[in-house]
Amino acid sequence: MPPSAFWSPQQHISGITLVRKLGQGGMAELWLGVDDGRRVAVKRLLPDLVGESEVQALFLDEMRVTRELNHPNICRVLKLGHEGPVPWLELELLAGDPASAILQRAGAANVRWPVPLVASVLRSVARALAYAHGLALQVVHRDVSPNNVFICWDGGVKVLDFGIAHAVGRTVRTRTGEFRGSMSYASPEQVRGEKVDPRADQFSLGAVAFELLTGKKLHAKKSAFQVMAALTESVEPFPRVDAVSPLVHPKLADVVARLLERDPARRFASMADVAAALTAWLDETCDAASCDAAALSAFVHTLCAARIAEQAAQYEGA
């Protein structure tokens, strides 16, 4: 393995000083760094995967797509580069956790997310995806899930990980019959391996909405085979969120039910229309102070105090 494969604290990479490794996934690792006095995150392909052409092509496609995205609800890419043969991205450093982690803490504490806050988070995600869908690249995320909805401690909301996004000019193409993404949140057409359009992201957002509003997964306690069957063979409508949780207002449940339509033609015309429907419900039903960034920040600070302190210590010294 070449020397460039080994990163270490205090190493300098294209003007970035590496501080410490923050974590690692199946395809990439994440480092804390400092660039011109600013804390940043650096995501790079795992060196062991450099020789695997399709994995490397997926990472390079992510670099090409994300560098074109500039929206307040999408994690910003600040810089792209290679260290030897290993590609990396410099990202804005986010203080917070994925919605999946916050859902787990809420479940453990027997706490429900306030419905107005959920609607506000969903609107932020819808706005980010509407922006991505409307670009010349025609970006379809294809992996909208609680893991990729990031809740910042200050109340911000960011969409992460466009690694398998469909976009004009991508090198890696999903072959007919092939599935990529998180099956528990994927649309029926995506699981069938059909060509997807922006309406597939609507269904995934509906599955996220169902979980945030009810505390239960759309496909709770089902095996991967059962989930696939529920998505591709069943014709029954998915449960309404207000049937599972009476706390959810029927009009908001109507929005989620439309997102979860099996037939893409029965969903909203666009993600911008989804954001507009959520805005209309919030304006009609909720006091602004119950669903703004300050309210979301207060909620996560109460629920995640220990994690906030732990992460602050992790970021110290940068």
Distance CA 122, CA 205 (A): 7
Same domain? For 153 and 277 the reply is: yes
State which of 93, 128, 160 marks the end of a domain: 93
Q: Is residue 110 part of a domain?
A: yes
pLDDT number for residue 171 = 44
Q: Which amino acid is at 195?
A: K
What is the rounded CA–CA span in Å between residue 261 and residue 231? 11
Same-domain pairing of 8 and 113: no
Look at residue 18 and tell me whether its pLDDT is greater than 70: yes
- Same domain? 56 vs 149: no
DSSP state of 184: G
130 and 177 share a domain? yes
* Distance between CA atoms of residues 17 and 20, nearest Å: 10
**Looking at 44, 78, 93, which one is the last position of a domain?**
93
pLDDT of residue 101: 97
Q: Are residues 133 and 29 in the same domain?
A: no
Predicted pLDDT of residue 175:
47
Instruction: Tell me whether residue 228 is in a domain.
Output: yes
Residue 292: per-residue pLDDT:
96
**Domain assignment of residue 310, yes or no:** no
Q: Identify the CA nearest to 165 among candidates 189, 141, 143.
A: 141
Q: What is the pLDDT of residues 264-281, one digit of tens each?
A: 999 999 999 999 999 999
Catalytic residue among 36, 48, 61, 143: 143
The predicted structure's pLDDT at residue 161: 86
The verdict on 124 and 220 lying in the same domain is yes
- CATH code of the domain covering residue 80: 3.30.200.20
In this structure, are 116 and 226 located in the same domain? Answer: yes
**163 and 184 both lie in a single domain:** yes
| Arithmetic mean of pLDDT, 134-153 | 92
**pTM tops 0.75, yes or no:** yes
pLDDT in tens, 144-153: 999 999 999 9
Same domain for 140 and 87 = no
- The domain tally of the chain equals 2
Q: Is 314 inside a domain boundary?
A: no
Is 143 one of the catalytic residues?
yes
SS (H, E, C) 98-152: EHHHHHHHHHHCCCCCCHHHHHHHHHHHHHHHHHHHHCCCCCECCCCCHHHEEEE
Q: What's the one-letter identity of residue 247?
A: L
User: Which pLDDT tens digit goes with each residue over 297-309?
Assistant: 999 999 999 999 9
242 and 174 co-located in one domain:
yes
Q: Is residue 296 part of a domain?
A: yes
Q: Which of 61, 77, 93 is the last residue of a domain?
A: 93
Q: Residue 177: pLDDT band by 50, 70, 90 thresholds? A: very low
Q: Is 207 left (phi over 0), alpha (psi -120 to 50) or beta?
A: alpha
Q: Is residue 315 part of a domain?
A: no
**Same domain as 174, residue 42:** no
Same domain, 42 and 147: no
Phi-psi region of 37 (alpha: psi -120 to 50; beta: other; left: phi over 0): left
Predicted pLDDT of residue 170: 47
pLDDT digits (tens, 9 = 90+) for 55-104: 888 888 888 888 889 999 999 999 999 988 888 999 999 999 999 999 99
- Looking at the chain, the whole-number percentage of residues with pLDDT higher than 90 is 69
Domain holding 253: CATH number? 1.10.510.10
Q: How confident is the model at residue 160 (pLDDT cuts 50, 70, 90)?
A: very high
- Asked if residue 199 has pLDDT above 70, the reply is yes
Q: What is the chain's mean pLDDT, rounded? A: 90
Instruction: Identify the band that residue 215 occupies on the pLDDT scale cut at 50, 70 and 90.
Output: very high
In a domain, 203, yes or no: yes
Domain of 77 in residue numbering reads as 3-93
Cβ contact 101:145 at 8 Å: no
Q: What is the pLDDT of residue 290?
A: 92
